[in-house]
Amino acid sequence: MAFESLTEKLNAAFKKMRGKGRLKEADITEAMREVRIALLEADVGFKVVRDFTNTVSQRAVGVDVLESLSPAQMVIKIVNEELCELMGGSNAKLEIASKPPTIVMLIGLQGAGKTTNGAKLADYMRKNNGKNPLLVACDIYRPAAITQLQTVGKQLNIPVFEMGTANPVDIASAAVEYASKQGYDIVFLDTAGRLHIDDELVNELISIKDKVKPTEIMLVVDAMTGQDAVNAAASFDEALGIDSVMLTKLDGDARGGAALSVKAITGKPIKFTGVGEKLDQFEPFYPDRMASRILGMGDVMTLIEKAEQAFDEKKTQELATKLLSNKFTLADYYEQLLSLKSMGGLSEIAGMLPGVDTRALANASFDESLISKIEAIILSMTPHERENPSVLNSNRKKRIAAGSGTSVVDINKLLKQFSMMQTMTKQMSKGKVPAMLNNRGLFR
């Protein structure tokens, strides 16, 4: 879980402050000492940590406490604001050329995840910005690099331009020309990487840059490598001049050092993050939301956006009507399970909820076999039985069990879960639909 270790240590530091009615300078000094240790253990650069804690201390000492906050809450508020500023302040968008095609040059060390996450970015720009992307295979050295790009491109239904093992500079140039003629308005150049930065790699990247004049050079770095990722960012920026950063494997980085250091060291914004192996596990980087997650305050906005993507708006409106009129059926129940499953594992979802201890849900996920079992049971029912599960007597259950390859016990478990869901919907129908969800268009 991203930042899990850092979140735990910061919360422990702030917990000591919450019991104090009024904070003295010595209290803040002690708290900042623990924050400093937590950040250093999270693999954040020493200079970044020093500057961060100094800034927080200066702001916290003698600050006017808001009436609605306790002194401890005021310090946490300051830490939250400074964490947000440390990571860039606000979400930075991908640069778009005034005249298409926009050319995004993806660079980075081998193993950082350029190929897969570059394709994810192309898919994101198509779905969320209405772009018509083209992927370009400029890595002619790594075995199966072209095949990998073609495979992921096929999975996402995004075309791939390749010229085998021709000169990468010529491939990039030909691809941009092809994109202009064929109407592709954004081009992603998947360039070669190395285990370490060397002159040969840098010279090739500079040649591609000079030839095609990319709109944006985006460095892809593996968040799990911590300060090595930050050092690589600084080296690439010095050699080539990068415009932005994409952090991959953020879901596996329990410390968070790269996310907290890279903007401060390079001055270049983190624009996107890869948060899992699946092709839809990819997000824009929001410093304010990430700061909130780090401090255990959750990330409700991202959770709502995930829900909007997973749940079809028309079907969601129909579901809302059924929920509020207490007409929720077993078929609806199954459909919602599938949609919820597409949002990610339980620990990922829980991590976006304020105050939830994600350690208790470590590695929790939807059981694929359970989903399949529920599907088999529900599909073995008649339409009348799905709409009216109360008619399911002993004989009907035996028939359904035989048809679905399950047992009567499995059917009873499903009916019990469904009954609990119905109880929840009855309670919901007596109240109001949450205003925040209403405003986001989830229920109308």
pLDDT at 190: 94
CATH number listed for the domain at residues 303-440: 1.10.260.30
pLDDT at 437: 39
Q: Residue 265 pLDDT > 70, yes or no? A: yes
pLDDT at 66: 55
Phi, then psi, of 315 in degrees rounded to 5: -65, -35
pLDDT at 341: 61
Q: Residue 84 pLDDT > 80, yes or no? A: yes
Q: Which CATH superfamily is domain 4-86 in?
A: SRP54, nucleotide-binding domain (1.20.120.140)
Q: Nearest CA to 209 among 235, 191, 223?
A: 191
pLDDT tens-digit readout, 88-147: 887 889 999 999 999 999 998 888 889 999 999 999 999 999 999 999 999 998 888 999
In single-letter form, the type of residue at position 353 comes to L
The residue-averaged pLDDT of 156-182 equals: 94
Percent of the chain with pLDDT over 90: 30
pLDDT at 26: 78
pLDDT at 180: 94
The residue-averaged pLDDT of 254-260 equals: 68
Q: Residue 350 pLDDT > 60, yes or no? A: no
Provide the pLDDT confidence category of residue 430 given band limits of 50, 70 and 90.
low
Report whether 42 contacts 5 (CB < 8 A): yes
pLDDT tens-digit readout, 195-217: 778 888 889 999 999 999 999 99
Residue 16: count of CB within 10 angstroms of its CB: 13
CATH number listed for the domain at residues 102-297: 3.40.50.300
pLDDT at 188: 96
The residue-averaged pLDDT of 62-82 equals: 69
pLDDT at 254: 55
Domain boundaries, the chain: 4-86, 102-297, 303-440
Report whether 254 contacts 2 (CB < 8 A): yes
pLDDT at 174: 95
Q: Nearest CA to 245 among 257, 264, 262, 227?
A: 262
The residue-averaged pLDDT of 9-16 equals: 75
pLDDT at 444: 33
Q: Residue 309 pLDDT > 60, yes or no? A: no
Provide the pLDDT confidence category of residue 300 given band limits of 50, 70 and 90.
very low
pLDDT at 121: 95
Q: Residue 41 pLDDT > 90, yes or no? A: no
Among the ranges given (170-184, 229-243, 345-359), the one the predictor scored with the smallest mean pLDDT? 345-359
